[in-house]
Structure 1
């Protein structure tokens, strides 16, 4: 079913034939956050042409990576068990790509699903085990997330709820610099890169220790 045949016999070649087409891994990234309707996938990938989205979904279904499922009288796309096996691959690829990440261009956006996966990528469970359970409300441009950390367990989702610390960061470059350690938490607050909305400001340091990736 692969749209591209590389003419080689190997596991990596076959993987590239199944998920290496343009946009395929970004669709999988968003579905790792949770099931999505067609329109939600399109909204999360605003530059994807509708015919390409339809083609990628059809190809991924044929490969057994995703499936269509009825949910509350609507059809959603979700990963199969086989598709969910790609999560460590996607997280590792995100960590690798973070090393080459520059400051965002004006036309680049942050979506709730992309930031959710970036936070999963940066999560340091061994550090979180030594810290008290903490709930954060985080705003990154248009992405507003509820982030709960309890030991090695991480839960990131959209929505509201009780939190220990709420903060806003309007510039995408700020979160990259904070997570990489380039921007110290206290300096981020002092310079206005981070706006504390609620809770003690020293919890930003806990957040930065819990979510860290070396650039």
Structure 2
């Protein structure tokens, strides 16, 4: 638990746990379906493993998360108390979409974007067999410029090294533009027409690609006039 506010207000008591750095984002990842330590790390790529372990211990101790050993791994699951945070986390996200201004350059992370896309694949919409999407983000550092999504009707994996399979579709994208599409700030049609995102491959796959991903919940959030500007 964080330092006490020494107030009987339930908001204050809840925030003694929840307002420590990264805590609510760990809850966000558990809500999104991550259950193992390495999956949580992939959804929180800038969080140190040591701090992630500490936050998980705190959430387990507070009764928000169950820790269940499974052979050589450990599975983490939200308890009923933890699951009650889901509408709160979603409401905070919707508020952020509506009122927070433009993202800073440091907020744009291809690793997190591809991981989020990977877990929102609509497997029923995929072609039979294996489909590989190759991504290139020309404006980012060479070490994080190339990514691959390997998709089948039952599985999805994201790779930061060439998996060695034939690539069916290649996407060359301005990272900010693709993040905007993912958040619902722009449409696929808009970024494709502007050339901010270019898709190469067979015509049927190019047309189908946007439909391979489930629409993010933020897409339907009504936009306000941003009143807050994030740190650069």
TM-score by length of 2: 0.60
8 Å Cα contact 1:181-1:214 kept in structure 2: no
| RMSD (CA atoms) | 4.2
Alignment of 1:57-68 (within 5 A): 57-68=56-67
Q: Deviations over 1:126-165 (max 9, x none)?
A: xxxxxxx85699888758497x9xxxxxxxx8449xxxxx
Which residue does the alignment assign to 1:125?
none
Q: Which has the higher contact order (CA 8 A, sep 6+)?
A: 2
The alpha-carbon deviation at position 16 of structure 1 amounts to 0.9
Asked if 1:52 corresponds to 2:51, the answer is yes
Which stretches in structure 1 are left out of the alignment for 5+ residues? 120-132, 149-156, 161-165
Instruction: Return closer, same or farther for 1:205/1:76 CA change in 2, 3 Å cut-off.
Output: closer
> Following the alignment from structure 1 to structure 2, what is the Cα–Cα distance between the partners of residues 96 and 202?
32
> Following the alignment from structure 2 to structure 1, what is the Cα–Cα distance between the partners of residues 22 and 177?
26
Asked if 1:19 corresponds to 2:22, the answer is no
Q: Deviations over 1:8-66 (max 9, x none)?
A: 11222122112211110111111112243334333432332343222211111111111
Deviates more, 1:75-84 or 1:194-203: 194-203
Which residue does the alignment assign to 2:39?
40
3-state DSSP class of the match of 1:34?
Answer: coil
8 Å Cα contact 1:67-1:77 kept in structure 2: yes
> Following the alignment from structure 2 to structure 1, what is the Cα–Cα distance between the partners of residues 5 and 150?
40
Which residue does the alignment assign to 2:88?
89
- Stretches of 4+ aligned residues off by more than 3 angstroms: 116-119, 133-146, 157-160, 166-172, 175-185, 196-211
Alignment of 1:146-157 (within 5 A): none
Which residue does the alignment assign to 1:186?
189
